[in-house]
Every structure is written in C-alpha cells, then in structure tokens.
A and B are shown apart, each in its own frame.
Chain A
Amino acid sequence: MGATLKDATAIVGIGQTPFAKRLPESEKALACRAIIAALDDAGIAPSEVDAFASYTMEETDEVEIAKSIGAGDVTHFSRVGFGGGGSCATVGHLAAAIATGQASVGVAWRSRKRGSGPRPWTSTRVQLPTPAQWTRPFGLLRPADEIGMLARRYMHEYGATRDHFFNVALACRNRANQNPAAMMYDRPLTREMYMTARWISEPLCLFDNCLETDGALACVVVSAARARDCRRRPVYVHAAAQGLPAQHHGMVNYWNDDPLSGPAWTAARHLWKGSDLGPQDVDVAQIYDAFTPLIPLSLEGYGFCGRGEGAAFTEGGALEIGGRLPLNTGGGGLSEAYVHGFNLIIEGVRQLRGTSTAQVPGAATCLVTAGEGVPTSALLLRS
C-alpha cells in the first residue's frame, strides 16, 4: 500500500482582499495582503512558510512573494499550467508535498487584475501558434466563443435550453445576493433580464459569462497533525486530482472523438478513486463557472448525473440552498468574483467551517473544481 493523500493534510487558513472592477493596488500587493490574511487566520507566522503553489497567468512569482511576506527557507514550490484549470491543483500539490515530508506549511494563492487590466484575448502579438492558427483567423477569438461552440453542440445533442443555463446563472446570483463581499451582492437577476440580455457569443449572453475582477485570495495547507493545533477548525483535503484527457485540446476541444466529455471526466475518475466518498455524499459543490454551460458539463463529468443529463439536473431549484446540490454558495465566478476559481476553494472551506453567508446546514463534504474545458483539477474537502 503506497502513500495516500486522504485526509493527510488540511486547509487551516484563508484570506482575501476586496473584489472590485478596479482596485488601486498592484497584483503583487494584493497577493501579499491575501496571503498574510490567510496566515493570520491560521495563526501561523509567515516565517514558517516553506512551500508555495501557484498557477499560470499569475504575474507575481514565489520569489517576490516569499521575500515580501517574510517567508523562511522554501523547500517546495510548484506552478500548474492552464490558467483556471490549475486552481485546485495548487492545493493538491501542497498536500502531496506536505504528506511526503517535503515541506510543512504551504501557501497557495491567486491574484489578478482582470477587472481593470486587459482582456487576454485582445492581444494579437502573443498568440501561440497552435492551436490559434486553427481558430483565431476565423474570429473564434475569445473563451466565450470557444465554449459557446461546445455549448451549442451540447444543446443540440441533449436538448439543453437557455433556461438551463439561466438556472445556473440564477443560483450563483442568488448566493451572491447573500454575500456582502460579492461584486453582485446588491444586483438581483431575473429571468427577463437574462432572456433580454445582450449576446456575447450566441448561444451565450452576458449573464452566461463570468465577471471581470481585481482581487486576490490565498489559503494555508499543513499536515493533519499540525492542523489540530491551529486557530480554526481544520478542513481536510480528502482527495485531490488533476485531469488531462487523452487527445484533449484545451478550450477548443473540437478534435477528438467526444468533445463533450472534457477533463472533468478524467479528474473525477481519479478523485473518486482516491476517496472514501462518492458524488452522492457531496453536501455542497463549488464548480468552476467561467461560463454557465460548464456547470451541466461538470455535473456529468463528476458523476452527479448521467451523460446528457446535466442540463435537466439544474431544474426544480436543484442548485439552490435546499436543492439536490447547492452550488457556488459565495456566488462563484459568475456573481461573486472571477479570480480564476480560487474563490471557489475559499468558499468550500467556509462551508465546512460553517461560516458561509449561504450556509448549507450541516455541510460536511464539499467538491471544488477548477476550469473545465482546459486541463483541470479538483478537490474533495471534508470537515
């Protein structure tokens, strides 16, 4: 029997800055604020930090962070690729490093200025030769276009409708309306607003797209033994997984046998294999929601329903508090903040501490996922 990650480590500290369309401070300053807040929440001195994990499109590297916050000697640092697909993998990498004795106090973080900074797709200079040569000349420019293409096919194959996507947008907005830290806290959403909203990339309208946010978040990971001595109730990393499926192509996943079974399926197989639990045991889910169609696709991938049943799963208030699977209870990327999914991890911790602004009564297990449609990752957290 080899080593296992199962409950060997825990998240013991969380921190975040405000979320806004524009924050005056630099990405680096925001990162430091979130990390120091997370360490303070844990009751651990910055000088004890000896591991960092981040993911790409993070502009502030671990050297800058370590010297700014006053970290000690760092013995583990890793960086995961593919933007939002790497969020949960940061915690997974820290858990693996700590469980195997490479480090003892790990920090993962995300700081972005996507609210006030440029949209990545507007760059015409920095375009990777592959696969951009096969998509961008044809005006498939933005993530919304790339996912919109899969969404249209999904609607065609399985009878999903805009009302299903609205169910996702509404659940996230309703939770944001309960969360004073959410960018959309005081902005309710109605079906009429959704159905008459401007298009971004048909079949996706404005409300199918995530927010654009300045902000930063961080969390602290230690061993289960150490966690028992920390200030807050430990939230255990029960299982962690990454997923890059065979013949996967990233967000333009049009070129394999089955473009609608994305990285979630691969990550899920590994996640459940390393777990004592199954989808039926999950009390609350934080599922990456850069675009609403990613929710039905992920519900299928992580096994909450069968193939093609993800859209129907959202019916009847299933994603609301009291429903089958309360979703993105801080408001998610659609309505709390879009910080490449790191706010989903932090909200998962809050649920299992019992401190969410939209608390699921007695929540003991939470699934957190990273970006679907790119090489992805996931965490199963438990209290």
Chain B
Amino acid sequence: MRADHSRPTGPATGPADPSVTVRDSMTTSLPPDTDTPPDPAAGLLLPVPDDDGAPFWEYAARGELRVQTCADCDEPRFPPRPCCPHCQSFGARWQRMSGRGRIWSYVLAHPPLLPAYAALAPYNAIVVELAEAPRIRLVGNLVAAPDAALNSVDPARLRIGAPVKAVFPTPPGGPTVPRWMLERP
C-alpha cells in the first residue's frame, strides 16, 4: 500500500492553509481598496479550484510553478487528476518547473465578451508548452510586466515558438494567477 501524496501536507510541500490564498467561493476578484493602485485584473474570473487542482494555485501564490507528477512512474500530468493514467498509481508529488516555455498557440479575443474582458479587448490568450515537459501546456496570458494587464503586449509581438517565462502577479484584490512574459522583451 502506497502513501497518498496527492495533496501538500505541510511547509515542505505546500502551504498549510489553502484558504489563505485561494478564495474558492467567489467567481470574480474584489474591487481594489481606494488606497491601492487599480488592479488590472479587477473583474476577471478567478480560478475555481477543484480538489485535484487546488495545490497548483497554492504553489502559484508562493511564486512557484509546479505540475502534478506521478510518485511511482514520474510522468507529469495536466490537468491534475486523482490517479496516473500511465500506471494507475494514486501517489503524486508536485514537481517544480523552471517556469520557462514556448508559445504553442494564441488567440486575440474581441467582443462579445464578459464586461471586464471586453474592457481589455483585444487581449491575448496563449497556450505555453513547458520547457521541461513539452506535453504539459498551460493556458495563460502574455503580459509586459507581472502586474500588467492582459492587453499590455503589442499583438504583433505574439509568435508561436517564442520563449516565455512565468511570472506571478500579486494583485491587491485576489489570488495569484500566473502569467507569462517574453524572454526577450
């Protein structure tokens, strides 16, 4: 019988209290306090983590990009799920990634959109394949600075294959949603 390593259990593997950083009962971020600068992510949808995905967001809040990986056969998998499709093991760890990758594809979204997104349109959404695990691809946004808005990069700069690096904004009103910057801005 193997131990179940699917969830972080302490400081060595993850934050002890996920509720500190992930407000899973809400769907949009709070308006910023009047004293703080405007949050470019205000009104955007927040992740609604499930049991399997929660550790990803907990690590992101600490500025770490981690991917669920089988504790037995070492295969990374995404999205997270209860057991390994290769060897059926329920044991998993969260493997830290370098945060480097390449743009696999992208779109530029135009209206009709939800209001907070329409205000930023056209903005980019990208899929990044990770340097260490090219089959692991994350949806994200290319931004000009960690806390910059979804439309902060000139669309002409977007290119399939462009090297990118994960950044971890810490908006005043909400959780950390990883974003991406060009390696060669």
Chain A residues within 8 Å of B, Cβ to Cβ: 119, 122, 124-125, 127, 129-142, 145, 148-150, 152-153, 156, 198-204, 247, 249, 252, 254-257
Q: Which of B45, B47, B108 contacts A202 (CB 8 A)?
A: B108
- Chain B at the A interface: SS class: loop
Q: Which of B46, B105, B135 contacts A152 (CB 8 A)?
A: B105
Which chain B positions have C-beta within 8 A of A153? 104-105, 127, 160
Whether B105 lies near A149 (C-beta < 8 A) is: yes
The B132-167 residues at the A interface (CB cut-off 8 A) are 135-141, 150, 155, 160
Question: With A134-B138, A255-B79 given, is the CB distance from A198 to B47 under 8 Å?
Answer: no
Whether A150 lies near B105 (C-beta < 8 A) is: yes
Question: With A129-B50, A130-B50 given, is the CB distance from A201 to B108 under 8 Å?
Answer: yes
Chain B proximity of A102: nearest CB distance (Å): 34
Which chain A positions have C-beta within 8 A of B59? none
Q: Which of B48, B85, B160 contacts A129 (CB 8 A)?
A: B48
Whether B109 lies near A255 (C-beta < 8 A) is: no
Whether B79 lies near A138 (C-beta < 8 A) is: no
Whether B104 lies near A254 (C-beta < 8 A) is: yes
Question: With A135-B139, A247-B85, A255-B79 given, is the CB distance from A141 to B109 under 8 Å?
Answer: yes
Which chain A positions have C-beta within 8 A of B110? 198-202
Chain B residues within 8 Å of A, Cβ to Cβ: 27-28, 44-50, 52-53, 57, 78-79, 85, 104-110, 112-114, 117, 120, 122-123, 125, 127, 135-141, 150, 155, 160, 177
Residue of A nearest to B175 (CB): A137
Which chain A positions have C-beta within 8 A of B85? 247
Whether B105 lies near A127 (C-beta < 8 A) is: no
Whether A156 lies near B141 (C-beta < 8 A) is: no
Which chain B positions have C-beta within 8 A of A125? 27
Provide a sorted-by-A list of 12 A–B residue pairs whose CB atoms are within 8 angstroms.
A133-B57, A134-B47, A137-B45, A137-B177, A138-B177, A149-B127, A152-B105, A153-B127, A200-B110, A202-B107, A202-B122, A254-B139
Chain B proximity of A161: nearest CB distance (Å): 15
Whether A124 lies near B27 (C-beta < 8 A) is: yes
Which chain A positions have C-beta within 8 A of B45? 124, 127, 136-137, 141
7 new A-B pairs (CB below 8 Å) besides A137-B46, A148-B107?
A125-B27, A130-B53, A130-B79, A139-B141, A141-B117, A198-B110, A202-B155
Whether A145 lies near B177 (C-beta < 8 A) is: no
Residue of A nearest to B161 (CB): A156
Whether B27 lies near A140 (C-beta < 8 A) is: no
Chain A proximity of B5: nearest CB distance (Å): 20
Whether B114 lies near A141 (C-beta < 8 A) is: yes
Q: Which of A134, A199, A257 contacts B79 (CB 8 A)?
A: A134
Whether A199 lies near B125 (C-beta < 8 A) is: no
Whether B160 lies near A134 (C-beta < 8 A) is: no
Question: With A130-B79, A133-B53, A134-B139 given, is the CB distance from A203 to B113 under 8 Å?
Answer: no
Whether A132 lies near B48 (C-beta < 8 A) is: yes
Chain B proximity of A146: nearest CB distance (Å): 9
Which chain B positions have C-beta within 8 A of A122? 114
Q: Which of A135, A252, A256 contacts B135 (CB 8 A)?
A: A256
Whether B78 lies near A140 (C-beta < 8 A) is: no
CA–CA, A145 and B109, complex, Å: 7
CA–CA, A145 and B161, complex, Å: 19
Whether A254 lies near B127 (C-beta < 8 A) is: yes
Chain B proximity of A261: nearest CB distance (Å): 14
Q: Which of A119, A137, A201, A247 contacts B107 (CB 8 A)?
A: A201
Chain A proximity of B80: nearest CB distance (Å): 9
Whether B78 lies near A156 (C-beta < 8 A) is: no
Whether A199 lies near B108 (C-beta < 8 A) is: yes
CA–CA, A165 and B57, complex, Å: 38
Question: With A153-B160, A200-B110 given, is the CB distance from A139 to B47 under 8 Å?
Answer: no
